[in-house]
Amino acid sequence: MLKLSKKVEYALISMCYMAKRDKGQLTTTRELSENFNFSQELIGKVLQSLTKNGFVTSVQGVKGGYELAQEPESINITGVINAVDGPVRVVSCIEEGEDCTCEQLSFCNIRNPMETIQLKLIHFFDTITLQDLQSNQIPFEVTSTPDKGDSIPVNFVRQLNKN
């Protein structure tokens, strides 16, 4: 199943949260953990990766925390995935190239189509920015850079625990 990891989800949720804050208003791992039911240890690691890759800045000290280092419209999903999980991969042989140890490599009849799918997926993620996530508008067209009118609203439904 192709799905985003928890680390990518945590990164995107955290960055959308930070994007709504005023410039200079820092966000802590404790705050994110309490507001979104995140593991504080895991969100700390995610934020370290985002800091290392220039998406957020870290301020040390008692009144420290994190804030976005870039404007939401300049941050795309591909960059965030690469920062916290490494390159987007549909199948491993595409990235491994000649070093691929897959037993099926010499018999494989889907490597080229999978490479095309991977490239299209990366291109699609490249077109989605943090601002798009915030505004709940995801680009519709994958084949070219979408105009602002070429998007569709995405509705998320949050299930509440009924315990």
In this prediction, residue 140 carries a pLDDT of 64
Would residue 80 count as lying in a domain?
Answer: yes
The yes-or-no verdict on residue 158 having pLDDT over 50 is no
Which pLDDT belongs to residue 96? 64
| More confident position, 94 or 20 | 20
CATH number at residue 89: 1.10.10.10
The highest-confidence range among 98-102, 111-115, 158-162, by mean pLDDT, is 111-115
Domain for residue 158, yes or no?
A: no
For residue 49, the model assigns a pLDDT of: 97
User: What dihedral do alpha carbons 143, 157, 81, 60 form, nearest 10°?
Assistant: 140
| Structural domain range at position 67 | 6-153
81 falls within a domain: yes
* pLDDT tier at 133, thresholds 50, 70, 90: very high
Average pLDDT over residues 47-57: 97
Tell me if 84 is assigned to some domain. Answer: yes
Residue 77 has pLDDT above 80, yes or no: yes
- Report whether pLDDT(160) > 50: no
Is residue 162 domain-resident?
no
| pLDDT value at 5 more than 70 | yes
Range scoring the smallest mean pLDDT among 42-51, 74-83, 112-121: 112-121
Number of domains, the chain: 1
pLDDT at 8 over 60: yes
pLDDT of residue 100: 72
Instruction: Confirm whether 50 is domain-assigned.
Output: yes
* 110: pLDDT strictly greater than 90: no
Instruction: Please check whether residue 45 lies inside any domain of the structure.
Output: yes
Q: Evaluate whether residue 159 is within a structural domain.
A: no
pLDDT band, residue 45 (cuts 50/70/90): very high
